[in-house]
Amino acid sequence: MTRPGDILGDRWVLLERIDAGAMGEVFRAEHQVLGHAVAVKVLLPEMTRDQGAIDRFLREARIAAKLRHPNVVRVEDYGLSSDGRPYLVMELLRGESLARLLARTPRLRPSVVLALVHQIADALDTAHAAGIVHRDLKPENIFLSGPAEALTLKVLDFGVAKFTDALAAGGGATASNTLVGTPRYMSPEQAQGRPLDGRSDLYAVGVMLFQMLTGVVPFGEDDAVVVMAHHIMTPPPRVLDLNPAGNIHPSLDALVAASLQKRPGDRPASAEEFLRAIEALPVEGARAGLTSGPFGGSARHPRVTATRTATLLALLLGLGIALFTALPMRRRALAPLAPAGPAAPPRPTPAPPAPVPEAVAPVALPPPDPASAPAAYVDDAPSPAVATRARRRRSHRRSTSRTPVVSVTSPPPAPPHAPYPRWSD
């Protein structure tokens, strides 16, 4: 049993126990000669009979030693204690885990969230470039130190991490076909035991990003199988729906949604692309305006878009009513609104009036020639019956004439007829 005062590897003196977990316990220690402070992680006695736990311990040591990054915990030594327990010597960190911070303050300011996620993505970019996938990113494995306004972090526990070539051969499970990772932060492909790459880690970062902005994880059921089923099939809620008053930029909401896509191909392609998207976001997460980052506006929140559209339509409608009211009545009469429906046919052009015939002067009849009259009618004065018949014949001739006679002025009086000779006895 390891206790304070023990010396490991003839050089590391254990001073005090500072933490414990499911697999091991952590001591504050110092180098016996140099005197610099370190943290020593020792495997629990009951875990020494589990060869998988021992292999995980050794894997963490090798991967952490391979990665040299300011946001990855530094490993200085590895060995076995006198009772055969593996131990790992790491840099001593002073602070607390992200899980403890979220337990006190479930929701963090967008500026703090972006600063933390930027450091996580930067560390993952280095790990993925080395062919390493963490596979167990969660708040318990993110250690914070420094003042609240300038927090720095370290990514811990690469014990279940694997190289991508080993993952391609063995998928997301261990040699004993047991899934590794934490269900609430598992990607859909990891929950199904499929081959993994760096985009699986970005899904876990998306879950933590969601949690820091809303105070809850997307799927928080107690049953691990139910949670993994949700990760595989159920679309997660949107950040703006759960925290509409959190001063969260719509592009940040879109980035979280892109990170939590079910298909790896729909997420950011790499940690480097994820970093560029974070750097394009406003530092304070302000609502006004959209950025031109790779996810700025590509998945705008439907409620925000609908509200902006309704506001714009209302402004345009009010402007139109104001302009229409300000027009003079004469201008409105000159430009009437076109009626709905098909256009009315054009009115027919009226035919020109018929020309008025010229006036024709009346024709005066010559007086009858007594010499040409029949002998029976030769008389000094015709009888009344004969005169009447003559007037009728003249009237009939005028009425049957084809040429209309329009009298403009009164015709001159006809000369008096010579008296017919009377019938002589």
**Interior/surface letters 304-320, b for 16+ CB within 10 angstroms, e for the rest:** eeeeeeeeeeeeeeeee
pLDDT tier for residue 301 given thresholds of 50, 70 and 90: very low
Domain with 71 in it: what CATH number?
3.30.200.20
145 and 31 within one domain: no
Q: How many structural domains is the chain composed of?
A: 2
pLDDT digits (tens, 9 = 90+) for 11-21: 999 999 988 87
296 and 255 within one domain: yes
37 and 135 within one domain: no
CA 401-407-412 angle, 5° bins = 105
pLDDT of residue 327: 60
Domain limits for position 109:
96-311
Of 311, 337, 364, the last residue of a domain is 311
Domain with 222 in it: what CATH number?
1.10.510.10
pLDDT of residue 201: 96
pLDDT tier for residue 356 given thresholds of 50, 70 and 90: low
Other residues' Cβ atoms within 10 Å of the Cβ of residue 68: 10
E strand or H helix at 168: helix 164-170
pTM value is 0.63
Highest mean pLDDT among 242-256, 339-353, 371-385: 242-256
177 and 237 within one domain: yes
Whether residue 159 lies inside any domain: the answer is: yes
For residue 251, which of 203, 306, 303, 297 has the smallest C-alpha distance? 297
143 and 249 within one domain: yes
pLDDT tier for residue 247 given thresholds of 50, 70 and 90: confident
226 and 199 within one domain: yes
HSE-CB at 47 with a 13 A cutoff on CA atoms is 17
Whether residue 319 lies inside any domain: the answer is: no
pLDDT digits (tens, 9 = 90+) for 91-111: 898 999 999 999 999 999 999
301 and 263 within one domain: yes
E strand or H helix at 389: helix 384-399
219 and 80 within one domain: no
pLDDT tier for residue 287 given thresholds of 50, 70 and 90: very low
Chain mean pLDDT for the chain: 77
Position 293 pLDDT exceeds 70? no
144 and 70 within one domain: no
Whether residue 180 lies inside any domain: the answer is: yes
pLDDT of residue 57: 82
pLDDT of residue 342: 57
Highest mean pLDDT among 250-254, 286-290, 406-410: 250-254
Strand partners, 162: 133
223 and 82 within one domain: no
62 and 153 within one domain: no
Whether residue 358 lies inside any domain: the answer is: no
pLDDT digits (tens, 9 = 90+) for 382-415: 566 666 777 777 776 666 555 555 454 555 565 5
50 and 118 within one domain: no
DSSP 8-state code for residue 4: T
Whether residue 357 lies inside any domain: the answer is: no
pLDDT digits (tens, 9 = 90+) for 109-153: 999 999 999 999 999 999 999 899 998 999 999 999 988 778 899
Whether residue 243 lies inside any domain: the answer is: yes
Q: What is the largest CA-CA distance in the chain?
A: 193
pLDDT of residue 245: 86
Whether residue 370 lies inside any domain: the answer is: no
pLDDT digits (tens, 9 = 90+) for 204-242: 999 999 999 999 999 999 999 999 999 999 999 999 999
**Interior/surface letters 233-253, b for 16+ CB within 10 angstroms, e for the rest:** eeebebbbebbeebebbbbbb
pLDDT of residue 305: 43
List helix spans (H) across 260-341. 271-279, 302-326, 329-334
pLDDT of residue 292: 37
pLDDT of residue 296: 42
335 residue type, one letter: A
Active site (catalytic) residues: 136
Strand, coil or helix: 186: coil
pLDDT tier for residue 422 given thresholds of 50, 70 and 90: low
pLDDT digits (tens, 9 = 90+) for 32-88: 888 889 999 998 888 888 888 888 888 888 887 788 899 998 888 888 888 888 898
Of 25, 56, 91, the last residue of a domain is 91
Residue 195, exposed/middle/buried by CB under 10 A (0-12, 13-18, 19+)? middle
Whether residue 104 lies inside any domain: the answer is: yes
Q: Map tokens 């590509």 to a residue.
A: 298
Of 311, 346, 362, the last residue of a domain is 311
